[in-house]
Structure 1
Amino acid sequence: KENTSSKQTITETALGQLPNATVEHPNIITIMNEAFSDLQVVGKFETDTDYLPFENSMKNAKNTIQGNVYVSTIGTGTSNTEYEFLTGNSMAFLPIGSNAYTLYEKHIQPGLAMTLSDQKYSTTAFHPYHKENWNRINTYQYMNFDRFIGMEDITNYQKLRKYISDEWDFQHVIDLYKQRDTSKPFFMFNVTMQNHSPYDTGLIHDVHITSMKGNYPQTEEYLSIIRRSDMALEQLVNYFKNVSEPTIILMYGDHQPFIEDEFYEELYGKSLHELSDAENQRRYITHFFMWANYDIPSGTISHISANYLSTLLAENANVKLTPYQNFLQNVYQDVPVVSALGCIDKDGNYFVYGDQNAYSSRLQTYAQLAYNNLIEEEKRKNELFTLLPTNSK
């Protein structure tokens, strides 16, 4: 059974809590940060330097929500987390090992970008790497992004190790905001690259583990670059603190990194082969940080899977929700985690999709809706997934 000490906090701060109702159509900046996570969710360890100083300083701050995101992949498969976030669908309903973007994205795909576009947002995707990776160059068009900016479209960038740094990336997000069409609210979906593997590049470590028996240089390099991401996020937030237009920022990780198995095994106190399914799922938790320069609920969410995260964002951006997002709000109240690794109910019980329990019927309906959303373009019930005039408030 999972630790449910934060259960009350989930109920108070998660889906269904509303922001300042007077704010309409704020700018929305979403960052899916490569391999960004807080490995303390696996087991506690100590370091000589705080690797998330900004986010830790904001744990009790106003207009800030942080927490754990349960994802369906580790070390790779970035676009599956992206798919869950942007569509609200779950990888729990697709074959093990499959990739939604490369196998199934063949036509118009309702989701967050379309929902915001229907509310007159400009919609920009930005990824400082090759556009063709994971079929993004086609998928973003299917999802109704106005434009996709990739590595091919940028110059004079700065790298940390092998990849474009988050500091440069986030500054470019600010530059794109400054260049926006000011007649429309601004939606940015940014997928970063800085923290991508490998973690043995020889970077001088800013962070050292002090409480463990083993020597884990890959983990220390990883923690050192995560610290750089945290510092870059602080700069981004500080910029928008001084912007008069209402703006909300969400950053979350796509998966945990591929680092030493021995690091994980020392934290668990056992071989990875000996882990229960529920124990193993702790390797499939990343971190999210949401902040706004206007009033939103504050707190910590211990359990939310990636498929619900865009609905949480949309709620706090005070935008109209589709009927599908309303459905996701309701499912979340009973089963806050639905992923390829398993589900967790509101009482902290772990189970696998397909197990017979009190939530089987609800999850079967969810799976059918997700299938209709992803696969059945000609039979799709668009009134559920888009903001047709009949769904406007």
Structure 2
Amino acid sequence: MFDLYLLRRRMTHRLTGKRTTKYAIITAALVLYPIMLAYGVETISRGSFADAWTWIASSPALFALNALLYAFLFLLVYCVFGSLLPSAGMSMAILFIAALITYFKTKLIGQPFYPWDIFLRKEGTNIIPIVTSRTVVIRVAVVAAIVAAVFLLRLLLPRFRLPVWSRIALGVLSIAALYGMAERSPMAQRLFDRAGVGEIVWNQQLNYGSNGFGIAFTLNIQNAVVSKPPGYSDASIATVAQQITDYRDRIPAKSADKQPNVIFIMNEAFWDPTLLPGVTFSEDPVPTVHRLQQDSTSGYLLSSQFGGGTSNVEFEVLTGNSMSFLPSGSVPYQQYIRQPVPSLASYFGSMGYKSMGIHSYDGWFWNRDTVYKWLGFESFKSKEYFTDPEINGAFISDDEVSRSIIQAVDESERPMFIYAITMQNHGPYDDNRYGVNDISVSGDLTPDARNILETYTQGARDADRSLQLLIDHFEQSDEPTMIVFYGDHLPMLGLDYDVYKQGGFISTGDSNQWTLDEMKSMHSVPFVTWSNFALPAEQIPILSDSFLGGYILDRLDLDLPANFAFGYNVSQQIPGLMSGLVVDSESNLSRTVPEAVQPLIDQYRDLQYDLLFGKRLLAGYVDADYLNQIERSDYNEEFKAPKDPAPVDESA
């Protein structure tokens, strides 16, 4: 009997010891592994162990807070999968992939990985051709090997499972903690304050660098929802309406004796490479643009984007709204437009025009095929509806887009508003896509930089020639026609703005150290106009994309609808407005809005909120029919007829 008692005691001690060891290992993993994850994430997102360690040494509390965030994420994954090492591998894979994305995005376009980037569907795959250099492949391979090693440890070590009730309890705890951090609950806010979290909304690259990837990403989750401005009310919109009425009373009555075709061409990444001071070209790559800069209304547009984000520029031009009032890195076409929004397309449509969008790429990209319906376009010709198109490089040629514009105008019995977007000169530019380039460049450039610049310049040359093709046609036309030609953003010429730096355009590849003049230069794209009827020429030093529509309507002597009228009025005092850079009417630069005009900018913000997210209060005062337009029932009927569009060979 006594021997049986001793045996039971020994077995109990052994089981208790194993259980104690198991929970000790689990506890250690939950404490130490998130610290390793935090260091790994910062190393990957910042690009080196040294940069990560410098930040950790200077901000230990912020590093600890990031590690705590990853601990709750790891715990949640563990509670879902129930096995320690697979959960560790899964957590690492999620975080390290996110860190890689932010590293590459920052290197390419100066923007980190945002929560809403998760919903970009196929758009995100466009980064793959850009990040295929040997250095990049090695970086990705090392990260993949580390993640794989963690998963393979499962073959050597036990599962370390938790009881079901423990998993449920800890899972609920981790969800509550993560939700509290994302929503910035009072407890989480106190924790943030003690750690020294300082959100830098206007400079997200600095925000991620200062707070660490995990915390900065979490802070932006709440920014995905656009909050009602503190001053937004019926009274504030009534004031906006009165300003619109006063503006209209001050200007002469508009003439309505002509309805010209109005053609906007947003040429992919179009910029003038001859602006690089340290580079010379064997011939002028953009003679048409340079001639129009001398003869017609022209100038520079202040683009909110660099190297990507085409649809955001499109959003600003078409709606008159400003990205400066929306969360950094957001994509309105993906996130916010879910109902009819007043735009140039709906305005021209209300005047009897046929409003048509043309884009030589997939209609689903940036959700255009759906958004164009909400913006009031009658039709949208995307890549699927080009028949046997000419391919130049990897994409449909700019000349093909020009021919599509000509065909659409010639076939229409009504005047046309066309918003055309090209694709030919989309990056990257290290692919020798054109074979032998017509124009050579010289300067203090590395061979790689010279190759990138010559390829880009060849595409810019083709874009310029496609504009001349349109001019040649409409010079012979008896239909009054105006063309507005511009780029959406500067091209991405190498990692860390390499070609711009080598070409002497900027002093450093670190955008956080740019002067205001350098920031303005890196966001200024040329625009030119042409018409086959008399219009006064004017030189525009700078104009935000959101003010372009109102400016063109005014030059055409067309009545400005309410939102464009207000934006045009704002542009008389602040012609350049983007996050982190403001240009006043005297060309003075500042990082924030001058105090004297802040009330006007606040009204502009209230107006934008009213039209995108609010109650459309403005329609109760002015332009009700235009502001309350409903979805077009005939949207894209001309392209809905059953047919098999010719496939496009993008490998040609």
- TM-score, scaled relative to structure 1: 0.88
**Counterparts in 2 of 1:383 and 1:126: CA distance versus 1, 3 Å:** farther
Would you say 1:295 and 2:534 are equivalent positions? yes
Check whether the contact 2:269–2:489 (CA below 8 A) recurs between aligned residues.
Answer: yes
Would you say 1:362 and 2:628 are equivalent positions? no
Identify the range of structure 1 (77-86 vs 303-312) with the bigger mean alpha-carbon deviation.
303-312
CA distance in 1: counterparts of 2:622 and 2:555, whole angstroms? 19
Check whether the contact 1:93–1:367 (CA below 8 A) recurs between aligned residues.
Answer: yes
Would you say 1:245 and 2:496 are equivalent positions? no
Q: Output aligned runs, 1:222-301, within 5 Å.
A: 222-260=456-494, 261-266=497-502, 267-268=504-505, 270-273=507-510, 274-301=513-540
Per-residue CA shift, 1:79-108, capped at 9, x if unaligned? Answer: 000000001111011011111111111111
Would you say 1:348 and 2:587 are equivalent positions? yes
Would you say 1:198 and 2:434 are equivalent positions? no
**Counterparts in 2 of 1:17 and 1:76: CA distance versus 1, 3 Å:** farther
Per-residue CA shift, 1:285-327, capped at 9, x if unaligned? Answer: 1111111111111132111110011112212333221122222
Check whether the contact 2:292–2:528 (CA below 8 A) recurs between aligned residues.
Answer: no
Check whether the contact 2:342–2:626 (CA below 8 A) recurs between aligned residues.
Answer: no
Q: Which residue of 2 aligns with 1:158?
A: 390
Q: Which residue of 1 aligns with 2:334?
A: 102
Aligned Cα root-mean-square deviation (Å): 2.4
Check whether the contact 1:24–1:318 (CA below 8 A) recurs between aligned residues.
Answer: no
Check whether the contact 1:41–1:282 (CA below 8 A) recurs between aligned residues.
Answer: no
Would you say 1:31 and 2:269 are equivalent positions? no
CA distance in 2: counterparts of 1:384 and 1:34, whole angstroms? 38
CA distance in 1: counterparts of 2:441 and 2:286, whole angstroms? 14
Per-residue CA shift, 1:332-388, capped at 9, x if unaligned? Answer: 1111101234210112222234x4521111111111111112222x43423678474
Q: Which residue of 2 aligns with 1:13?
A: none
CA distance in 1: counterparts of 2:429 and 2:478, whole angstroms? 40
Q: Which residue of 1 aligns with 2:417?
A: 187
Residue identity opposite 2:271 in structure 1: S
Deviation, structure 1 residue 25? 1.2
Q: Output aligned runs, 1:1-393, within 5 Å.
A: 21=255, 23-40=257-274, 43=277, 45-61=279-295, 64-180=296-412, 182=413, 184-202=414-432, 203=434, 204-215=436-447, 216=449, 217-260=451-494, 261-266=497-502, 267-268=504-505, 270-273=507-510, 274-353=513-592, 355-376=593-614, 378-382=615-619, 386=623, 388=625
CA distance in 2: counterparts of 1:117 and 1:242, whole angstroms? 26
Structure 1: tracts of 5 or more residues without a match: 1-15
Identify the range of structure 1 (74-83 vs 287-296) with the bigger mean alpha-carbon deviation.
287-296
Per-residue CA shift, 1:210-245, capped at 9, x if unaligned? Answer: 243444211111111101110110110111011111
**Counterparts in 2 of 1:153 and 1:211: CA distance versus 1, 3 Å:** same
Deviation, structure 1 residue 22? 7.0
Partner SS state of residue 442, structure 2: coil
Partner SS state of residue 67, structure 1: strand
Residue identity opposite 1:34 in structure 2: E
Partner SS state of residue 123, structure 1: strand
Q: Which residue of 2 aligns with 1:12?
A: none
Residue identity opposite 1:192 in structure 2: T
CA distance in 1: counterparts of 2:617 and 2:334, whole angstroms? 20
Structure 2: tracts of 5 or more residues without a match: 1-249, 628-652
Check whether the contact 2:298–2:538 (CA below 8 A) recurs between aligned residues.
Answer: yes
Per-residue CA shift, 1:244-279, capped at 9, x if unaligned? Answer: 111111111101111132221131462222322442
**Counterparts in 2 of 1:176 and 1:17: CA distance versus 1, 3 Å:** farther
**Counterparts in 2 of 1:235 and 1:300: CA distance versus 1, 3 Å:** same
Deviation, structure 1 residue 45? 3.5
Question: Comparing both structures, which one devotes a greater share of its residues to helix?
Answer: 2
Deviation, structure 1 residue 155? 1.3
Relative contact order (alpha carbons < 8 A, sep ≥ 6): 1 or 2 greater?
Answer: 1
**Counterparts in 2 of 1:389 and 1:99: CA distance versus 1, 3 Å:** closer
CA distance in 2: counterparts of 1:17 and 1:287, whole angstroms? 28
**Counterparts in 2 of 1:386 and 1:253: CA distance versus 1, 3 Å:** farther
Partner SS state of residue 280, structure 2: coil
Partner SS state of residue 372, structure 1: helix
Residue identity opposite 2:605 in structure 1: A
Check whether the contact 2:281–2:439 (CA below 8 A) recurs between aligned residues.
Answer: yes
Partner SS state of residue 362, structure 1: helix
Q: Which residue of 1 aligns with 2:66?
A: none
**Counterparts in 2 of 1:255 and 1:348: CA distance versus 1, 3 Å:** same
Q: Which residue of 2 aligns with 1:8?
A: none
Write out the 4+ residue segments of structure 1 that deviate beyond 3 Å after TM superposition: 20-23, 39-45, 211-215, 383-390
CA distance in 1: counterparts of 2:351 and 2:357, whole angstroms? 17
**Counterparts in 2 of 1:175 and 1:268: CA distance versus 1, 3 Å:** closer
CA distance in 1: counterparts of 2:301 and 2:622, whole angstroms? 23
Check whether the contact 1:41–1:285 (CA below 8 A) recurs between aligned residues.
Answer: no
Deviation, structure 1 residue 147? 0.9
Check whether the contact 2:346–2:626 (CA below 8 A) recurs between aligned residues.
Answer: no
Residue identity opposite 2:320 in structure 1: G
CA distance in 1: counterparts of 2:505 and 2:530, whole angstroms? 32
Q: Which residue of 2 aligns with 1:10?
A: none
CA distance in 2: counterparts of 1:161 and 1:389, whole angstroms? 42
Question: Comparing both structures, which one devotes a greater share of its residues to strand?
Answer: 1
Check whether the contact 1:42–1:283 (CA below 8 A) recurs between aligned residues.
Answer: no
**Counterparts in 2 of 1:324 and 1:293: CA distance versus 1, 3 Å:** same
Check whether the contact 1:29–1:188 (CA below 8 A) recurs between aligned residues.
Answer: yes
Deviation, structure 1 residue 41? 5.0
Check whether the contact 2:305–2:312 (CA below 8 A) recurs between aligned residues.
Answer: yes
CA distance in 2: counterparts of 1:59 and 1:17, whole angstroms? 28
CA distance in 2: counterparts of 1:32 and 1:295, whole angstroms? 23
CA distance in 1: counterparts of 2:423 and 2:626, whole angstroms? 38
Partner SS state of residue 595, structure 2: coil
Identity of paired residues, percent?
A: 27
Deviation, structure 1 residue 389? 8.6
